[in-house]
Amino acid sequence: MKSELRFQGVAVSPGIVRGTAYVYRPDEDLPPRTTIRDDQVAGEIARLQEALALTRRQIIELHDRVRESLGANDAEIFEAHLMVVEDGVLIDEVQKTLKRELCNAEHAFHTVAHRYAKSLAALEDPYFRERAADIHDISRRIVRNLLGRTTGGLSELKTPHVVIAHNLTPSDTAQIDRDIVIGFCTEAGGKTSHTAIMARSLNIPAIVGLHELLASVENGADVLVDGYSGVLIVHPSEETLSQYGALQASKAAMEMRLTELRETASTTQDGRHIILSANIEQPEDIEQAQSSGAEGVGLFRTEFLYLGREDLPSEEEQTAAYISVAAAARPHAVIIRTLDLGGDKLHDTLHTETEENPFLGWRAIRVCLERTDIFKTQLRAILRASVHGSIKIMFPMISGMPELRQAKAILEECRGELEREGVPFDREMEIGMMIEIPSAAMIADIFAKEVDFFSLGTNDLVQYTVAADRGNEHIAHLYEPTHPAVLRLIRKTVEAANAAGIWVGVCGEMGGDIVLTPLLVGLGIDELSCGSAVLPRVKRAVRSLDAAACRKLAAEALECADGSEILARCEAVARTHYGDLL
């Protein structure tokens, strides 16, 4: 028997699960450099030719598969990839580099391809910029083939496992099958990292911030994940398994009591109704949202339709996805957030260059306003789906009025196109925007005249207000949702919405934190949208509270100078009304 090992991290998604560890180490961006002898050059060139031949076969297979499922237009991207594999100038330069520098084939190919892609990406001609993306994408495939690696994605897992990794990107988590990946444990990340958000959305127990984990856990190890306390146990003893069996039974009883609230209203003791809706990533998530008692979808993160794939979703594919969610959610509404790629949610076709500060860079609405072809495809799909249910649309990361007006103008263009084509759509569809940048909150009164609702993206709002990267564990203590400045920005947004007669919701992680529920109710939030897994807890919290008492808490909090004092006041109210949930 191996000795039991325990690791303490940050609990980010509740639940207890036992399973087999899969240690996930995705391919490194830079292939290793190996010095070779003169007499090994021919062998390296032969390896290169074999890898190119294998890559060519893979691309042709992908091309045929996509053409059959999505059509010839969507398969065209792979024809461009074939051009890269067969580019005589590029391959000749790789061979020259290999001979000149006496280095291995994968290093030579990566070096040359990266240089070519960088040069093309710097050109203004959109054709050449797209060619740079093709080179970047196909280069990674060729290097993987040279190294003898598979794609290495989580989609390759065939049996249930607990994934152990340094970190998981949104592209990684987009591949996950919740029946196969039964738990996450990562060395990096915090409560509002995308790994944590996805785990809660998928209702998968997860722990982050487990330092030096990869060096201590081997593939195939028996592990137990405690998503309540943030403890990972490797090689759990019989005594530990017995203790956790009893704890699991107790938690299951609590979950059963929460399930009974499904059909009840999320109304406070003194009669204030708070709309509780769900955050989803994929169309199939609507099932879990409904079973949790959600009043529709408060945030459909559409970028997950784009991640984990080499192409871009077509208008038809997106329309079908939006219709399936809208039809299933009826009579409740579905709020579709337009594409929010960038930051740590990257797509190989769009993001070919490394940015110094990606969270302050080319992301969300900024990508859409530059790549209007992609934006219009999505807007047309949303409009077409709008006649199949109650759909609202919202734009992310708006920092100033020009962006909002440009986005609305492009939406109007799409309406005009569909009208001319005789395609029906909801002409009264509500248009909203996210408040997640301090500049937007500061002029919320101006924005309120142009939209039908606000949705507070508190993850980024906190991050940008306190200048603390929410994924950086070294400054995690600075990421403080109860910081007085954050509260004042929320209050300013609510006051602007009230004055204009529009509603305001919260779709960030604050919306699912039951310690902060009394504060948000007191600040005047109309809707809370959160992961389906935590929604029953939020409903129980709302039903246990008195709105008048919450307003008193908010008024006191706004006078405090210290975020930790505000948090302590919130905890006191929460423990008084629903201590058993905490």
* Residues classed as catalytic: 194, 507
Short-list 276, 291, 301, CA closest to 517: 276
Produce one character per residue of 535-569: b if its CB has 16 or more CB atoms within 10 Å, e if not.
bbbbbbbbbbbbbebbbebbeebbebeebeebbeb
Produce one character per residue of 73-91: b if its CB has 16 or more CB atoms within 10 Å, e if not.
ebbebbebbbebbebeebb
Can you tell me which residue has the tokens 């593939």? 219
Per-state percent for the chain, helix, strand, coil, to nearest 5:
50, 15, 35
Short-list 322, 343, 445, CA closest to 397: 343
Q: Rounded distance, CA 266 to CA 547, Å? A: 12
**Pairing of β 297-301 and β 333-337:** parallel
Query: In Å, how far are 125, 455, 490 from 558, measured between CA atoms?
Result: 52, 21, 11
Q: Give the alpha-carbon dihedral of 469, 472, 478, 482, to 10 degrees.
A: 70
Q: What's the residue count for the chain? A: 582
Q: Is the CB of residue 221 less than 8 Å from the CB of residue 21?
A: yes
Q: Rounded distance, CA 200 to CA 181, Å? A: 13
Q: Rounded distance, CA 176 to CA 490, Å? A: 34
Q: Is the CB of residue 265 less than 8 Å from the CB of residue 301?
A: no
**Pairing of β 222-226 and β 333-337:** unpaired
